[in-house]
Structure 1
């Protein structure tokens, strides 16, 4: 997994899931991975099917129709120590780590697979949520073999 340190954001907080998703999209836009039209598609994707994956992680990404807005494959990792709720009052779904992804072709599937394998162990999610440096995040995620 090619992880760019400049796309790792530690210690963030968001009032809403929409703000969190928009932040992830903005990171991908600022890094030259997507066009501006990808961000609304990320919000739309969450409306169609929640990007919350369980184990305190969410994987914001665009709709299939927005694939044309992806310039190159990229991933942003955003640590949210206090969490952001992707559920509702009756069924909270708190994410402490967000993986904003954009993939050319089917490259996003490999990213999701690696993230899923790593995050299947909630101890790994806790390590990511507690990471103090960008390098620590890179080292943790690069320990995954697929």
Structure 2
């Protein structure tokens, strides 16, 4: 049976985050905890952030591992961390929605393009930030993931 890429177990709501590293670890720990990746993938997500920021604008960051970490991915999956108070990703860039990605066999490119469609609408980002439940947040991704 194929594992779902995104479900309620992959979402954490109203998370208070102290810094960027904690935010990325939280996002990666969900992926690891749900069996999408090996725990070492979380470190690769932090390495990726050192190379180039995963902040996308509009309060969204999309942390993911390095190219070298692909063998640590067991199955394609997403995690979502809803942090309405925001966390500073540097240079005054505040992130309120983190979407962690693990893509098996280059599926991450397809997943990223689908997420970009949802996140390109500022109205959708505002709905994510204002969401009161996991179901409300997931509904915004249902058509694309």
String of CA shifts for 1:119-142, please: whole Å, max 9, x gaps. 111110010111111111121111
> What is the CA-CA distance between 1:143 and the residue it aligns to?
3.7
Aligned to 1:43: 46
The number of residue pairs the alignment matches comes to 142
Instruction: Report runs of 4+ in structure 1 exceeding 3 Å deviation.
Output: none
Q: What secondary structure does 2:86 align onto?
A: strand
TM-score w.r.t. length of structure 1: 0.93
**Structure 1 residue aligned with 2:98:** 98
For 2:12, the equivalent position in structure 1 comes to 9
Mapping for residues 21-60 of structure 1, pairs under 5 Å: 21-60=24-63
1:75 aligns with 2:78: yes
> Residue deviations 1:3-39, cap 9 Å, x none?
2110011100111100000011110110000001101
**CA contact 2:5–2:76 (8 Å) conserved in 1:** no
Separation in structure 2 between the aligned mates of residue 144 and residue 7 of structure 1, nearest angstrom = 16
Quote the offset at 1:2 in angstroms: 3.9
Q: Which runs of 5+ in 1 are unaligned?
A: none
Structure 2 regions of 5+ residues with no counterpart?
none
Query: 2:110 aligned with 1:107, yes or no?
Result: no
CA contact (8 A) 2:36 2:76 kept: yes
- Tell me the distance in 1 between the aligned counterparts of 2:70 and 2:5: 20
Matched, 1:141 2:130: no
The TM-score, its normalising length taken from structure 2, stands at 0.93
**Secondary structure of the corresponding residue to residue 47 of structure 2:** helix
RMSD value, Cα: 1.4
